[in-house]
Each structure stands twice: as structure tokens, then as C-alpha cells.
Amino acid sequence: MDKVITIERHILRQQQMHPEATGTLTSILYDIALAGKMIARETTRAALEEILGLTGRFNVQGEEVAKLDDYANAAIVRLNQFTGRLAVMGSEEIDDIIPIPDEYPAGRYVLLFDPLDGSSNIDYSVSIGTIFSILRRKSPDGTRGTVEDCLQSGRNIVAAGYVLYGPSTMMVYSSGNGVQGFTLDQTVGEFLLTHPDITIPAKPKFYSVNQGYERHWSREIQEFTNCLQARNMSLRYIGSLVADFHRNLLGGGIFYYPADTRDSKLPHGKLRLLYEAEPLSFLAEHAGGKASDGKRPILTIEPEKLHQRTPLFIGNKELVELAEAYIRGDKP
């Protein structure tokens, strides 16, 4: 590549391809990139400032909330609530919808996000990430957004992506026209285009699953896993969805988090449909891959609850279809 393209320039160029665009979506994406830079700064400083450790609070999933989660959540909310671009927000950290305060105008878009995914890795300096999706509101313009605005199938996503806080900070997003990856140049504070038009490699290398829970899986999932091992695929599991997804997006592979019998309160696996599965499935499809709950495409699921969970099989198309075949009972 002989051109240096900043994320701002790239997003603007996408906007120019749509003469009807008002620039609102562009501005939301800028603000997410800015939030990503702020969160990246905090993740690298966190240990030094002794802010690691737990607040002693529990989020709606019953998991302990680390301070960095709070920071990341507040950064995204504060950057977006007053701009007049959003009707409502929803966060994996917050039980209910996040309304736009009455003193600010309500806009046309909906922002759903997981502010800090993989947060059980924070204390170990292992990669974590922010996941987001942007949709159009369903309720009438000019009113306050509603929970129904958030409960939309992934097919309605306008743009989605993630920011990965790893050895380098990367932002990967799609607004429906390819998947683009940017790396943060810390010295100038800009995300620069480093991975244009990402497509998942046809030959998969990795499978990623928490194999520690294997004995709690169905026989079909166990057999599917045996099949991957018979192909000599490498197991790579970080335990941060964004990081696992990112590696497989670039290197080729499948990530899965199936339903298991460990916890009767979690019959659908662990991952959240709206905040994790839908945005990454949008990216996977736009990168030539596939995402399924084992039976149907994730993007076709009509959500019923904000914190709904779903099994997830995501990545290389052939492998996701293979998983579906095993689950249907017609293994090849």
C-alpha cells in the first residue's frame, strides 16, 4: 500500500459513495473510534495506576464488573448521548436500555455495544475488545427510543465492528461494503488503514472453543470437534471473543461457544445475541464467512430480550456449515 489512509478519511469516502447520506453515521463511527482510543489509553495505563481489581459490583449477567468495564461503558455513553444522532443505546453492562437524556435531542440511530468484551482477561494483560453495532430506529423520529429499537435482527445492522486492545490497538468495521481493519498509530493518535478488504482465508487453520467444557457438550458437538482434530487443525482459545474472532478472521478458522449442560440457567450458551453475536456475524458475512446458532443464521434471529444468549458458530463458511450438518445429525 502506498497511501496512508486514516479512519476518518476512509469513513468519509464511504459516505461519499452514498449521496443521500447526511453524515450522521459517519459521525457516530468517528466517535466510536475516539472512544476506542480513550479506552486503549486506559487499558495500557490501568496496571500502572493501580486501578485493576474488582469493584465488588455484579452486572446483570451476575459477573463481577472490573473498573475498566465501567470506564469503557461511561466513555461510549458520554461521547454519544448528547449529539442528537442516537435515539437510544444498549450496553452489555447495563440491564435496561440507555435512554437519551431529555435535555438532548433524540436522533435516528441505535447504538448497541459491549464496552469491554473478554473482561476476565483484564488482570492478565490479555487482549480484550469493544464490540458495537449501529441500526436505524424503528420508532417514530423525534420521540425517545424504545427497547423495540434495540430488539432488531442483525439483518437490520447498518454498520458494525470492534476495537481490539492487544499488542496493537485495531479497529475493524464494516458499513456493508467490505470489512476494513485499521491499526492505531499511538505516536500520532490515528487509526491507519492496514488491513483493507479483509476476507476470511478459504483454508482454515484454527478452531477456537473452550475445550475444558467438552464433557458438558452434546454428542454432536463432541463429534464435530473430533472431526476438526482429525483435520489437524490447531486449537487456539484466548477466551476473549473479539481476540479469538479477530485471529480467525485473518488466519482462517472457526470459533464456537455451544450450549452446554454446565448451568441449567444458561441453556443457550454464554454469548449475548445483541451485543456480541450479531455484530461479529455481520462482519463474518461481509468477510465471506458465516455465523450460525447451529441451526439458523445468527442474523435472522429475532431477538426477544436485550440480554438474550445464543450458541455461536462463526468464521470459515465451510466449517460453520459442517457444524450445522453435525447438529442436524447428517454428518458427512
In the complex, the residues that contact ligand FDP under the rule CB under 6 A are: 117-121, 210, 239-241, 270-271, 276
Q: How far is CA 313 from CA 210, 261, 295, in A?
A: 13, 17, 10
- Residue 284 has which C-alpha cell? 463474518
239 or 251: CB nearest ligand FDP: 239
Q: Could you tell me the smallest distance in angstroms from the CB atom of residue 187 to ligand FDP?
A: 29
Q: Using CA atoms, how far apart are residues 22 and 44, in angstroms rounded to an integer?
A: 35
Q: Could you tell me the smallest distance in angstroms from the CB atom of residue 121 to ligand FDP?
A: 6
Q: Using CA atoms, how far apart are residues 40 and 170, in angstroms rounded to an integer?
A: 10
Residues paired with 169 in a beta bridge: 165
Q: Could you tell me the smallest distance in angstroms from the CB atom of residue 12 to ligand FDP?
A: 31
Q: Using CA atoms, how far apart are residues 227 and 233, in angstroms rounded to an integer?
A: 9
Residue 274 CA to its chain's centroid (Å):
9
Q: Could you tell me the smallest distance in angstroms from the CB atom of residue 45 to ligand FDP?
A: 20
- Residue 287 has which C-alpha cell? 468477510
Q: Could you tell me the smallest distance in angstroms from the CB atom of residue 259 to ligand FDP?
A: 12
Do 85 and 109 touch, CB atoms closer than 8 A? yes
Q: Could you tell me the smallest distance in angstroms from the CB atom of residue 15 to ligand FDP?
A: 31
262 or 328: CB nearest ligand FDP: 262
Do 72 and 38 touch, CB atoms closer than 8 A? no
Strands 190-195, 234-235: pairing is unpaired
138 or 307: CB nearest ligand FDP: 307
194 or 308: CB nearest ligand FDP: 308
> According to DSSP H, which parts of the chain are helical?
7-16, 24-45, 67-80, 147-150, 219-230, 241-251, 278-286, 317-328
276 or 324: CB nearest ligand FDP: 276
Q: Could you tell me the smallest distance in angstroms from the CB atom of residue 289 to ligand FDP?
A: 17
Do 199 and 170 touch, CB atoms closer than 8 A? no
119 or 152: CB nearest ligand FDP: 119
22 or 261: CB nearest ligand FDP: 261
Q: Using CA atoms, how far apart are residues 160 and 145, in angstroms rounded to an integer?
A: 19
